[in-house]
Structure 1
């Protein structure tokens, strides 16, 4: 029986914890490096993971390293830093970046890793921490065929749907397209609720009518579960991350000279909410912020609509 490769995981937060836990369930030896929140680190250690102190140390120990970090700046620091993965210089190492990142940065990092005898895979995620814990995330993967085949069994531990979309960088491009749509949905649903409430239509009616129509979708259900159902933790994805993603998408549109006026309008909502100190709020909370911009309290409108 072939021995399983040793896996490293850097960034065991809301999404990374579930991914790492499912890699352990798959029988892979696992090294982890977390941030200041000890709870997910301690939980994974109790399940058999080994905590290490630096990406350089991890690179020396592992065959494959997963990254699940907030942005490209964080990814670049982990790879290029003095104690980073490149400093480990282990030939054949594969770095799987599951962050939502700037594709230009991804391609540049892939070239640097390749020059050092290592490989880059971009494998950004779809869905939520709930699916991460269940091992049922969506994965978009950018890699050449041979490297994709090498990492597929590991990705299969934490993903329910896996799409090999093309070479390195293509998955991060696809993820930005996906998040442009989802962040656009959130802005559109927020405006629709405000227009409806100020026109005398209750949030419940908007939810019920659209939810039963062909306009409904999984994102609508989750978003309205917060905005109307008032389950404020139903989608734990921060406004700061949303703002980052739409800014990356805007940069991608600019780099390709693509007209993107809707994207610029969507970006303004997230920029405004983040600039006003609410970046830690979750994505569906945008509806409450847009309601405040329009002079009313959405939670109060929901209470009135329930009468």
Structure 2
């Protein structure tokens, strides 16, 4: 394990613990974060190194893991004189864990190969808790050889991972994930609105429904907090609006109409306009119960 050197670019709520798991697993890790104080804090906590630029972080790495915000954030750390691809070594692998467009994944795949490296788009699901507990689901797109080499790294912070197809396939799978979550959360919100307005005990409702066909992760983990009007944690609606935007753009390119995903995205945008940008995605219930 100690022979594999890892660079981790982006220390947000997901990247910070993911990089920590890599260090704990025995991979010497060098991190880069736009805010240097966060990189220094990570280094003090986990014992790894930090770099001044993405290029510097990538120069000695066998794997460069990226987990930032959106397409433009990824381009900003990957491209240019100080970007990852300017410092990447021959045969190294770039793994982008950011949720982006499939188009960007294909673009980065070409750019990485031109630099003599390999590339995997590998968005994750499991949220902040999954990252902190090393229990993420990892959806990858790229070459099978690169995926096989990456599996020991995935094992540091993942509980399940698979190769879905060529570059871009991981992002397309994540789009499916976000579309499903959006629909489930809207249905859960409407169901709880009825339960609460009817005077039902939400704890009992959640328990009995979890034993039947309505069972879901959202029901198990969010029904109680939704009933208590607690949303200051979890996956921010800002990110879901971004993710569903990529999903709808991909669907449009393929001639598909996704009415539920489109409507739920508009609901989240309403909540953004009310200042709930950083609330968990389960905050949909607030639209129904004032």
TM-score by shorter chain over 0.5: yes
Range moving further from structure 2, 123-132 or 151-160: 123-132
Asked whether the equivalents of residues 69 and 75 of structure 1 are also in contact (C-alpha less than 8 Å), the reply is yes
Distance 1:165 1:269 in 2: 31
Cα distance change on mapping 1:136 and 1:208 into 2, 3 Å:
closer
Asked whether the equivalents of residues 182 and 261 of structure 2 are also in contact (C-alpha less than 8 Å), the reply is no
Asked whether the equivalents of residues 98 and 123 of structure 1 are also in contact (C-alpha less than 8 Å), the reply is yes
Q: The residue matched to 2:89 in structure 1 has which SS?
A: coil
How far does the alpha carbon of each residue in 1:39-85 deviate from its partner, in whole angstroms, 9 at most, with x for none? 57514433221011111111222121101112111111111234111
Whether 1:259 and 2:257 are equivalent positions in the alignment is yes
Asked whether the equivalents of residues 207 and 228 of structure 1 are also in contact (C-alpha less than 8 Å), the reply is no
Q: Give the root-mean-square deviation of aligned CA atoms.
A: 2.2
**2:287 corresponding residue in structure 1:** 290
Distance 2:201 2:265 in 1: 27
Asked whether the equivalents of residues 122 and 138 of structure 2 are also in contact (C-alpha less than 8 Å), the reply is yes
**2:237 corresponding residue in structure 1:** 239
Distance 1:115 1:260 in 2: 36
Distance 1:131 1:205 in 2: 26
Q: The residue matched to 1:61 in structure 2 has which SS?
A: coil
Q: CA deviation at 1:176?
A: 0.8
Distance 1:80 1:225 in 2: 44
TM-score, with length taken from structure 1: 0.86
Q: CA deviation at 1:157?
A: 0.9
Distance 2:197 2:148 in 1: 54
Cα distance change on mapping 1:81 and 1:183 into 2, 3 Å:
farther
**1:104 corresponding residue in structure 2:** 103
For structure 2, list consecutive stretches of 5 or more residues without a partner in the other structure: none
**Map 1:43-82 → 2, pairs under 5 A:** 43-82=42-81
Distance 2:160 2:228 in 1: 28
Aligned residue pairs total: 290
For structure 1, list consecutive stretches of 5 or more residues without a partner in the other structure: 297-307
Q: The residue matched to 2:82 in structure 1 has which SS?
A: coil
Distance 2:34 2:234 in 1: 18
